[in-house]
Amino acid sequence: MPALPSFNCKLLTGLLYAATAVGVLKISAKIYGFLSLIVNLFLLPPVDYSKFGAKKGAWAVITGASEGIGQEFAKQLASRGLNVVLVSRTQAKLEEIATEIESKYKVQTRVVAADCSKNTPELYASLYKAIEELPVSVLINNVGRSHAGPVLLEETPDDELENILTINNAFLVKMTKLTIPLIDRTVKSKQAAKGLIVNVGSFAGLFPTPYLAVYSGSKAFLQNFSQALSIELKEKNIEVELILAYFVTTALSAIRRSSFFIPTPKKFVAATLRNMGRRGGAQDRFATSSPYPSHALINYVANNTLGVFSEWIAQSTYNNMKITKAKRLRKLQKQKAAKAE
């Protein structure tokens, strides 16, 4: 067999070296990402909220504050020394929570009863009037709406579809827009060194989720919106963070029992506030965090194996959702039959 020309041998050798170097870099990046996850979530000290005006008279605005994750954000931010504005639909619930917070944490509260599904100028005017004179430094965009159950797009009621898009997207964007000048004013006045806007997202926005297509798409919107806004507001010293959550025991998820992968709202918010601004399992994305440890692990493993846009994951989700839908329909039929008796 004739010997290969020396030029071809050198080229082959160079390609092998290059491929090896690329492989080493990729492996090193994955190892670095995992070590960074461990350091961020377990080794670094908790975030100090004095930079956001805690114990300096600054206020946090929390939407969807009457229950679940939103209520926990209100209580735990108050425990750090921030005054809180509670926004939700039910006045009585808000007043009860506000009384508890004032008594326990010795901060000021304000309640705003507002139906976030009403995308009207009057809604935003009333919200702005309620907070315009306050030194707001933090906005928690927590309020959200999902489907009543797994459903195909063509079977989704129009009012459900419109409510999801209005609450998860239109309301969030407009609430953010009207709050930015207030946060900017607070930072410029030195009452807070930084401002903070938190958008509560979902793994349904990270992974395409069949049978929840509208909800999944509405949460995916938050990724680009949050990242773009974080760059826009960097010069104003306002941080923007998208928080990615897997299942949490809330009314939205309809899960009541917690587990290693499914925390209570209290545990989820505690991890979120402890690690605010740190990527956790979302090592590949800026202005994004997966702060709860088991959720961070799911995010990291999925992203570094099949990938979050894997068709296999989407197909598996579809199969599971199809089963869940059938179970839900059987349960509803039994309830209907029992009422008829």
Could you tell me which residues are annotated as the binding site for substrate? 202
The alpha helices in the chain, defined as continuous H runs, are 6-38, 68-79, 91-105, 121-131, 158-165, 172-188, 203-206, 213-232, 265-274, 293-303, 311-340
Residue 101, helix vs strand vs coil: helix
Query: CA 241, CA 111: separation in Å to the nearest integer?
Result: 24
Active-site residue identified among 215, 246, 292, 300: 215
> Active-site residue 215, yes or no?
yes
CA dihedral 81, 247, 139, 95 (to 10 degrees): -60
Take residue 131 and report the two structure tokens written for it: 């907070």
Query: CA 21, CA 42: separation in Å to the nearest integer?
Result: 31
Burial of 325 (0-12, 13-18, 19+ CB in 10 A): middle
Count Cβ neighbours within 10 Å for each residue of 80-95 and write b for 16 or more, e otherwise. bbbbbbbbbeeeebbe
Could you tell me which residues are annotated as the binding site? 202
Query: CA 64, CA 126: separation in Å to the nearest integer?
Result: 16
DSSP-assigned letter for residue 165: H
| Positions marked active-site | 215
